[in-house]
Amino acid sequence: MNNIYLLNNIKYEDVINLEVFQINYIKSDINLEKYDALIFTSKNAIYSIDSFNKQWKEIPSYAIAPKTAKIINEHKGKLSFTGKSSHGNEFAQELLEELKDKKVLYIRAKEVASDLSSILKQNNIKIDELITYETKCKIGLNTKIKDNSVIVFTSPSSVKCFFKNYKWNKTLKAIAIGKTTSKHIPQNINCTVSPTTSIDECIKLARLVTF
């Protein structure tokens, strides 16, 4: 069986969690009442806003993908729309008709990889942004990565933080959760991109890798 290192804290049998970053919440005293819609493109956006403002549950939420929608439902939010593409820029296109004439708040990380907000603004959607969390790389990790292993990258941040701690060697193989994440992996590394932005799918692919 392959040695699989997942750059995430979700547990799977026979998979090693290698947490190369941590999430820090950024509190705000924002009044959400003036918004007709909230955009969520990650689970951490939901967890972070919920940690300091429960008012978000009363406002229609627009989720980038089924996994994000599931967390909104688990928190008893008001899910209004779930994207099909699971990619930021494509999600923005899906939202154009949905958000017409609405006042929108995009709840997001300090650093984002997509142009979602710009695309919506260019199409006359009234949108504000609220940064509720940031990703910080962990430095000086002690975990040794064995040769002939599969590394599963789950976000652009996981790529950045991995390479702050480790050097790549040619015995390793890379799997990226999506196109955006794969673009952050150095071009000299051969990377397989998951057909859906799902960690479950990434793990299935990792288990099929041969060396």
Domain range list for the chain: 3-20+138-208, 24-135
C-alpha to C-alpha distance for 205 and 194, rounded to whole angstroms = 8
**pLDDT tens readout for residues 178-196:** 888 999 999 999 999 998 8
Tokens of 18: 């290698």
Residue 113 has pLDDT above 90, yes or no: no
Buried b (16+ CB within 10 A) or exposed e, 9-41: eeebeebeebebbebeeeeeebebeebebbbbb
**pLDDT tens readout for residues 3-56:** 999 999 999 999 999 999 999 999 999 999 999 999 999 999 999 999 999 999
Residue 135 has, within 13 A of its CA and on its CB side, a CA count of 21
For residue 197, the model assigns a pLDDT of 82
Residue 1 has pLDDT above 80, yes or no: no
C-alpha to C-alpha distance for 61 and 131, rounded to whole angstroms = 16
C-alpha to C-alpha distance for 43 and 57, rounded to whole angstroms = 14
C-alpha to C-alpha distance for 159 and 26, rounded to whole angstroms = 22
For residue 21, the model assigns a pLDDT of 95
Among 23, 65, 30, which Cα is nearest to 44's? 23
For residue 198, the model assigns a pLDDT of 87
Q: Enter the pTM of the model.
A: 0.85
For residue 57, give the DSSP letter.
Answer: G
Report whether 81 contacts 63 (CB < 8 A): yes
Residue 163 CA, chain-centre distance (Å), reads 18
Report whether 154 contacts 143 (CB < 8 A): no
C-alpha to C-alpha distance for 134 and 77, rounded to whole angstroms = 22
For residue 14, the model assigns a pLDDT of 94
* Averaged pLDDT score across all residues of the chain: 95
Report whether 87 contacts 114 (CB < 8 A): yes
Residue 165 has pLDDT above 80, yes or no: yes
Q: The CATH number of 24-135 is which of 3.30.200.20, 3.40.50.10090, 3.30.300.170, 3.40.50.720?
A: 3.40.50.10090
* 3-20+138-208 and 24-135 share one fold: yes
C-alpha to C-alpha distance for 205 and 176, rounded to whole angstroms = 10
For residue 87, the model assigns a pLDDT of 76
For residue 137, the model assigns a pLDDT of 97
The DSSP bridge pattern shows strands 21-25 and 126-137 to be antiparallel
Q: What percent of the chain has pLDDT over 70?
A: 100
Class of domain 3-20+138-208 as given by CATH: alpha beta
For residue 152, the model assigns a pLDDT of 98
Type of residue at 155: S
C-alpha to C-alpha distance for 69 and 34, rounded to whole angstroms = 22
